[in-house]
Amino acid sequence: MDKLRMVGGTPLKGEVVIAGAKNAALPILCACLLTDQAIVLRNVPDLQDVRTMLKLLQEIGVTVTFPDKADRSHMVLDAAVIKSSEATYEMVKTMRASILVLGPLLTRMHSAKVSLPGGCAIGARPVDQHIKGLKAMGATIKIKSGYIQAETKLPLGRLKGASILTDMITVTGTENLLMAATLASGTTILENAAREPEVGDLAELLVKMGAKISGIGTDRLVIEGVEKLHGAEHAVIPDRIEAGTFLCAVAAAGGEVLVKHCRPDTLDAVITKLKDAGLEIEVGPDWIKARMQGRPKAVSFRTSEYPAFPTDMQAQLMAVNAIASGSSTITETIFENRFMHVQELNRLGADIAIEGNTAIVQGEEKLSGAIVMATDLRASASLVIAGLAAQGETQVDRIYHLDRGYDRMEQKLTLLGANIERIK
Ligand code: EPU
């Protein structure tokens, strides 16, 4: 199992180029299932989760080609032939986002069998809202032997437009129902829809494919179903969480970094908190320049749905708070168990206590390197940030979690002057 070894204390300096967003790429890859014509994608990040999704799509029958062998971010997906409408337990247990094939397969093939995801390290994460929405659109859904077995009634075959109000805001739930609705008969209204930029990016591709969607970027999506969708070309939106992670790294380790090829307009809540922490930030249309001198100041925050502070940045900003002057409280409102990094940060010398869904952080002047274990994707990123700021050597074990969602993170940090290496 690979590990990352780093020696903290070197300020970061230089430029970093942000990849396409993982959480936009995953639903966008699944959207190819909605048409028998080719979808050309650019700016797809080269990550383990993307490779897992491509493997699942290939099992379903999609052909995947890379026109330029040296560029894995540019690919052509062709779902002319669907040979299986199934996502097996083996695939779904590897990556929960596999659930995103349910809506597209059901609406195009009129039946789909997808393993029900189990619990997850960060929370129970049920998919009841995905199922409720598809049922409202006329699907018959049974849970049998651990699988969601969904079908639409013949002879009509198509899902029917419906008005759907989800009990909570769900990102992949909105994406699944949005994709399903594109080929349904009649109009679907998704109320309480997630407004995350990744949902908007998926919707933009669907419109290019011929879908009729209004309200993109709002919490009310109106989809007028069409009979067929066609091929399209699309570049995936830059990853706001990767950009935010590098900004936190600068805030913790110090230095001056130009974050290129990002979308600052999708990072308002993160930028506001980092400015409060003392990070000097200059913003252009697709870049952010960040400079940190001295120790960060503690900032309290609570996670919430977009446009508020993202849960996917909670662990990284907590690492900054761990070495900040002052104390802070961090409240996690999206997932019930997303504090697994706390014990590991404490192994590095942080002083963090948990009370319910709130972490209370007393900033420490210095952290000291140690061997720590990554427990999930964003937890791994927070440990790397803490390790870059700590004195001495830190080793982060189980970085397969990091590889699921960050495109060559240690190489990018090396280019910024960090003393970091991967140990095989
Ligand atoms: N929920 C339900 N029932 C449902 C759906 C969601 O109870 O049917 C609950 C969840 O348990 C959670 C809350 O609603 O408490 C929000 O979950 P959501 O469905 O929005 O999460 P998700 O779609 O499974 C996506 C991202 C996550 C990100 C969350 C929140 C993808 C592939 N994943 O997950 O990304 O944290 O939205 O923004 O888009 C990550 O990248 O590290 C990551 C975990």
What is the Cα–Cα distance from 25 to 18, expressed in whole angstroms? Answer: 14
Strand intervals (E) in 152-292? 163-165, 187-191, 212-214, 220-224, 232-235, 255-260, 280-283, 287-292
Considering only residues 235 and 125, tell me which one the structure prediction assigns the higher pLDDT: 235
Tokens of 374: 């990554």
What is the Cα–Cα distance from 153 to 136, expressed in whole angstroms? Answer: 13
**Cβ–ligand 1 contact at 334 (below 6 Å):** yes
What is the Cα–Cα distance from 424 to 414, expressed in whole angstroms? Answer: 17
User: Per-residue pLDDT averaged across 51-67, rounded?
Assistant: 97
Each residue's pLDDT tens digit, 292-336 = 999 999 999 999 999 999 999 999 999 999 999 999 999 999 999
The pLDDT, as a whole number, for residue 143 is 94
End-to-end CA distance of the chain: 7
What is the Cα–Cα distance from 182 to 227, expressed in whole angstroms? Answer: 8
Ligand 1 centroid to residue 171 C-alpha, Å? 6
Residue 222 confidence (pLDDT) above 90 = yes
pTM, two decimals, is 0.98
Q: Report which ligand 1 atom has the smallest distance to the Cα of 198.
A: 39
Please give the torsion angle defined by the CA atoms of residues 177, 179, 180 and 184, in that order, rounded to the nearest 10 degrees. 120
313 DSSP 8-state letter: G
Give DSSP secondary structure letters for 86-115. Answer: EE-HHHHHH-GGGGGGHHHHHHHHSEEEEE
Give DSSP secondary structure letters for 24-49. Answer: HHHHHHHHGGG-SSEEEEES----HH
CA angle 313, 98, 197 (to 5 degrees): 40
**Cβ–ligand 1 contact at 97 (below 6 Å):** yes
Parallel, antiparallel, or unpaired for β 220-224 and 419-423? unpaired
Residue 175 confidence (pLDDT) above 70 = yes
Residue with CA at minimum distance from ligand 1 atom 44:
312
- Write out the catalytic residue numbers: 120
Region of 417 on the Ramachandran plot (φ > 0 left; ψ -120 to 50 alpha; else beta): left
User: Per-residue pLDDT averaged across 171-190, rounded?
Assistant: 98
Ligand 1 centroid to residue 124 C-alpha, Å? 10
Mean pLDDT (the chain) is: 96
Task: Count helices and strands (H / E) in the chain.
Answer: 14, 24
